[in-house]
């Protein structure tokens, strides 16, 4: 009697890159994985958690560069899920935040493949590791998470609305749109809004710069910032400095 292999695809978020930020469930699944289809932003330290006999297949997309077509990724999902029981689709950050994870969920479902989604810490939460909270009472009323590069190459249309709000704005894949981002804020009289670029958030090679949003392009060039990076815009960027200044002032010694 031949036992049919249970077809299961595990769509897992690897977080911002540092393996310490993996969820326990993601860690446990990786430790027993048989096949891992991994993206460009998945760190080697995380891949090293897989068993020695685990087959690792690169299906990444370099920003604005070479990439594995989605149709090819779908073909690999179908191929391996029909042959193995623990097939992992490993993505950077969280698969459902600009990671096209749900597109692959839909494809697998059409083939009758069971899918389990294991969330990952999004790269935008790397701001908190750098003492920049996404929200803070009296400072930020919410969070806008926008893509800097839609499928047609355009900036997210919601940036115009986000720039007029009192919320923190996080932009993924926006390094080619710095001039456009700055212009949008300047046109709405908010060119002096604090901003930050965080490259390789939480990783040992992390870089971070801060500036007014109007100076994003110039500051990025001066410090040779590159992909992958997230852009943070809002008064939460300077919150730590403002609080420190307030504490020092409140505790000043008067002679």
The residues annotated with a catalytic role in the active site are 39, 61
Nearest to 214 by CA among 230, 198, 233, 201: 233
How far does Cα 205 stand from its chain's mean position?
A: 16
Tell me the Ramachandran region of residue 189: left when phi exceeds 0, alpha when psi lies from -120 to 50, beta otherwise: left
Residues 6 or more apart from 23 whose CB is under 8 A from it?
A: 13, 15, 118, 119, 120, 121
Instruction: Provide the 10 A C-beta neighbour count for residue 164.
Output: 13
Helix (H, G, I), strand (E, B) or coil at 78: helix
Residues 6 or more apart from 28 whose CB is under 8 A from it?
A: none
Q: How many Å apart are CA 32 and CA 29, to the nearest integer? A: 6
Q: How many Å apart are CA 229 and CA 176, to the nearest integer? A: 11
Q: How many Å apart are CA 211 and CA 216, to the nearest integer? A: 7
Q: How many Å apart are CA 166 and CA 138, to the nearest integer? A: 10
Structure tokens at 124: 């935008």
Provide the β-strand partners of residue 117: 11
């Amino acid at each position: 009697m031949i036992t049919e292999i249970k077809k299961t695809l595990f769509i897992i978020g690897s977080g911002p890159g540092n393996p310490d930020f993996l969820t326990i469930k993601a860690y446990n699944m990786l430790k027993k994985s048989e096949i891992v289809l991994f993206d460009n932003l998945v760190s080697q330290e995380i891949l090293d958690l897989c068993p020695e006999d685990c087959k690792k297949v690169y299906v990444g997309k370099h920003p604005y560069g070479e990439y594995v077509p989605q149709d090819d990724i779908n073909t690999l999902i179908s191929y391996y899920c029909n042959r193995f029981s623990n097939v992992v689709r490993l993505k950077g950050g969280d698969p459902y935040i600009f990671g096209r994870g749900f597109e692959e969920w839909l494809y697998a479902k059409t083939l009758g493949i069971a899918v389990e989604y294991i969330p990952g810490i999004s790269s935008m939460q790397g701001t908190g590791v750098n003492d920049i909270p996404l929200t803070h009472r009296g400072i930020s009323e919410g969070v806008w998470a926008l893509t800097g590069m839609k499928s047609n190459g355009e900036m997210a249309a919601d940036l115009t609305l986000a720039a007029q709000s009192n919320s923190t704005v996080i932009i993924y894949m926006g390094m080619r749109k710095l001039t456009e981002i700055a212009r949008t804020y300047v046109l709405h009289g908010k060119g002096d809004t604090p901003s930050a670029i965080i490259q390789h958030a939480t990783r040992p090679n992390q870089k971070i710069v801060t500036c007014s949003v109007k100076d994003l392009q110039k500051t990025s060039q001066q410090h040779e910032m590159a992909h992958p990076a997230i852009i943070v815009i809002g008064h939460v960027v300077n919150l730590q400095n403002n609080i420190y200044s307030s504490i020092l002032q409140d505790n000043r010694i008067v002679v």
